[in-house]
Amino acid sequence: MQVGIEILSKIPSENRREFIQSFKVLPQYNGCRDNCVFHMLLEDVSDMNCFLWVEHWADNKALEKYLLSDRFKTMLGAVDALGKLIHYNRIKINKIQY
């Protein structure tokens, strides 16, 4: 069964560009190629300062390893430094096709 994370954050307008850049410039996590099924940063069209970070992983072991990685910790640090964490949820994905 696939698992994932959903992280909702509010980033003030003045930090928006830096926040988006942090997703683009940080090197990919080494385990992502084989184990990360889906990852995306989504923006709320009705609130340009609200972002949803979504990742789906092959299994719980791969996700747990990722959650301990420097990349994940750096991204959470960026959320904390540049804005506010609204919601963090771990999810189970029963069946999904890409």
In tens digits, the chain (98 residues) has pLDDT values of 899 999 999 999 999 999 998 888 765 667 677 788 888 999 999 999 999 999 999 999 999 999 998 889 989 999 999 999 999 999 998 865 65
Q: How many domains does the chain have?
A: 1
Residue 34: exposure state from Cβ atoms within 10 A (0-12, 13-18, ≥19): exposed
In degrees, rounded to 5, the angle at the alpha carbon of residue 80 between the alpha carbons of residues 24 and 47 is 70
Residue 98 belongs to a domain: no
Per-residue pLDDT tens digits for 29-57:
676 777 888 889 999 999 999 999 999 99
Q: Which residue range(s) make up the domain with 32? A: 2-93
Q: What is the CATH number of the domain that holds 39?
A: 3.30.70.100
